[in-house]
Amino acid sequence: MLTPPATIPHLIAEGFHALSDPLRISVIELLRQQELCVCDLCEALGVSQSKLSFHLKTLKEAGLVNSRQEGRWIYYSLNVSQFSVLEAYLAGFSKNIPISPARPCEDPG
């Protein structure tokens, strides 16, 4: 299923916002290796569950992580497809496409 074009800027902005915090980057780095339970993330990062929950919510709302519940534990993993959206967006800037100069502004008076 394709994402409607109007939502693409929103997805990109949410993704980059979620990646704008060092703790969230640390979560992403840990999840690059394996799916982890909240308790394991708290221990590895040395933060309380309440602090981490806020950051995990931001990552989840941006679509960067998936969660699944098993019993009373919630496990998190990366949503690689959302990283592909961000990667594709940035790839457009690395192409050597000449940027046209601005057209001269007209004096309104």
Give the CATH number of the domain where residue 38 resides: 1.10.10.10
Spell out the alpha helix ranges (H) of 4-92: 8-18, 22-31, 38-45, 49-61, 80-91
pTM reported for the whole predicted model: 0.80
Does any domain span residue 35?
Answer: yes
Does any domain span residue 19?
Answer: yes
Does any domain span residue 103?
Answer: no
Does any domain span residue 10?
Answer: yes
With H, G, I as helix, E, B as strand and everything else as coil, classify residue 92.
Answer: coil
Number of domains comprising the chain: 1
Structure-derived torsion over alpha carbons of residues 79, 25, 20, 38, reported in degrees to the nearest 10: 70
Does any domain span residue 13?
Answer: yes
Q: Which residue range forms the structural domain that includes residue 30? A: 5-89
Tens digit of pLDDT at every position of the chain (109 positions): 555 555 778 889 999 999 999 999 999 999 999 999 999 999 999 999 999 999 999 999 999 999 999 999 999 999 999 999 899 888 888 777 777 888 888 877 6
